Structure 1
Amino acid sequence: MTEQQPELGRFLRARRAAVSPADLGLPTGAGHRRTPGLRREELAALAGVSIDYYIRLERGKETRPSSSVVDALARALRLDHEEEAYLRELAAQAARGGSAPRQSVSRAVRPTVKLVLESLRPNPAYVVSRTNDILAANPGGLALLPGMADWPARQRNTIRYTFLHPAARTLWPDWEVKARACVAHLRAVAGTDPDAPDLLAVVGELVVKSPDFSRIWERYDVRRVGNGQKTFVHPEVGTFTLAHEVMEINRTDGQRLVVYGAEPGTAEYDTMVLLDMKGAGSLGGLSADAQEPATPAAELDRA
């Protein structure tokens, strides 16, 4: 019977495979290395632990690594702040025998937040859950993603869209970068609540339906989605680049407000106005969450 590797072990294996020995000043030796990245004995030596101890840790036989060992592994693997936090959470889960229980996550968007969405027009904006379900959007926010409005409200998820909607592959010229960022965000969510139904629903669907998602999911990249710029090749309004800000609006349930913007008087601003007009026409002036009656949480988890 094949031994089931724990989540902590899978993360350690994926991250050591991503580290180049040459970057750490280690000899690569002659010929082809059977193992990509660092070997177990190399990582153990860099972290200052025995090879036997590290093997037990990776296989789940050792479940209580000390804080100093976690520190040493993070340094050896060159983890950044978010990756180190993810490693610490996995170590804590291993020590307590699983993830901590969590209350259900609310999908309700406060009325004041919906007013903010409306006041932001023509800037495209939407509210997403921690797993990137679109919970509410102004007209431009939904029109920014061509074809999203055709999906039932319960299926509108920006990560599902990235991997499963045919328009997504040409909407972002750097699709692979965008796709990796999406998956890295889900990995960050998984670090704190790996057994949550909302997370399992979207990951389970995409692992089955998208080979690209499965490939990237196994990389174990960890990154919360942040601010920056995105270029779009939109089938209706052409190519444009918008800045975007991501703001936490409900820490308990992980809801975030995503707003895109451009300087007034620029071609990009005119594009936002056009998107807002197109979105308002397709939605009949209603916000995205008003198009369908509320769906029970249990049904949303099965979507």
Structure 2
Amino acid sequence: MASEQSSRRSADMELGRFLHARRTQTSPDQVGLTVGTGLRRTPGLRREELATLAGISIDYYVRLERGKETRPSPSVLDALARALHLDEAEHQHLRELAARAARYAPEPPPPPSRTVRPHLKLILETMRPNPAYVISRSMDLLAWNPGGLALYAGLADWPTTQRNLARYLFLHPTARTVFPDWEYQVRGCVARLRAVAGTDPDAPDLTSLVGELLLKSPDFAKLWERYDVVGRKKTQKTFHHPQVGILTLSSQSMHLEETPGQRLSVYTAEPGTPDHDAMLLLDMTVPQPTGHPDTWTEQHRRTQS
């Protein structure tokens, strides 16, 4: 019972946290308000300004932000979304938070399994020399082919249970060198984790990772506080790789059907280009295990652990 009450309280507060974050990051200029010459102590919009823009009372809005009001109507949510200039993904996230706070949403599912189906491991092998890997919803690296692991320089040095792309970006000493657009990459990474944690804030697979990064990385803590849930996506990524040099690859990420939130990411380059040559070289940087491709991931884990 205590656990259930704690979970409900988290859901109530998550809606308020999201509204607070979006309010403090929305400037009066963005919504057409004229700002006087006096000192503004509050970053972004004041509560009363947002309430006026949304057409609701200041008292009602304060209760929403403090988690004391948990059943805003769809029209109130739409009005707040318009006032804050939320895009469609952010608007949908607001609806999902409100649904969970009002207990309209179903109870969160148990933590997803880390098991990757054997046929997915075969798919990764057939994609070579294109780097490819499977990650969980919390960005744990679950399976990979040689290039997929080697792409993140130094990641293979970590134990398999620690191989997480968010952890790599914020805590690995090589990450800022590998990614020339590191700040762009980490913003998208945090937005993805925030979107998942917003609707399932007590999930163990997320809370342990987020707690670690909040403790160890001030950069992560600052971005986490922003509560962005939409990451801008590029179709290409550039890597400054210490073994194969600079390579720019097209990337594609997709949800895997009938899996617990797992995603497949694949990188490609035009044949005959220097980027493709570098990709071929990258595929050969990881020692190749023997045996059937179906057992590749497990064999590689044993050699790297």
TM-score clears 0.5: yes
One-letter code of the match for 1:66? Answer: S
Mark the CA change 1:27 to 1:142 in structure 2 (over 3 Å): closer, same or farther.
same
Residue segments in structure 2 that go unaligned for 5+ positions in a row: 1-9
Show the counterpart of 1:17: 24
Give distance in 2, aligned partners of 1:163 and 1:201: 15
C-alpha RMSD of the superposition: 2.0
Structure 2 residue 285 is matched with structure 1 residue 278: yes
Correspondent of 1:269 among 276, 288, 301: 276
Aligned residues of 1:206 and 1:214 also touching (Cα < 8 A): yes
Show the counterpart of 2:131: 124
Residue segments in structure 1 that go unaligned for 5+ positions in a row: 294-303
Deviation at 1:226, TM superposition (A): 5.2
Correspondent of 1:240 among 234, 247, 253: 247
Deviates more, 1:249-258 or 1:106-115: 249-258
Give distance in 2, aligned partners of 1:288 and 1:217: 32
Correspondent of 1:292 among 278, 289, 301: 301
Deviation at 1:251, TM superposition (A): 4.8
Segments ≥4 residues shifted beyond 3 Å: 224-227, 283-290
Aligned residues of 1:153 and 1:289 also touching (Cα < 8 A): no
Aligned residues of 1:127 and 1:256 also touching (Cα < 8 A): yes
Number of paired residues?
288
Structure 2 residue 49 is matched with structure 1 residue 53: no
Structure 2 residue 143 is matched with structure 1 residue 112: no
Correspondent of 1:137 among 130, 140, 144: 144
Q: Which digits, 9 at most, give the CA deviation of each residue in 1:241-291, with x for residues without a partner?
A: 111000111454100000001110111100110000112x2x546744433
3-state SS of paired residue (1:233): strand
Deviation at 1:78, TM superposition (A): 1.1
Q: Which digits, 9 at most, give the CA deviation of each residue in 1:155-193, with x for residues without a partner?
A: 111001000100001111111111111000001111332
Equivalent pairs: percent with the same residue? 62
TM-score normalised by length of structure 2: 0.89
Q: Which digits, 9 at most, give the CA deviation of each residue in 1:28-52, with x for residues without a partner?
A: 1113311111111111011110111
TM-score normalised by length of structure 1: 0.90
Structure 2 residue 205 is matched with structure 1 residue 202: no
Deviation at 1:209, TM superposition (A): 1.1
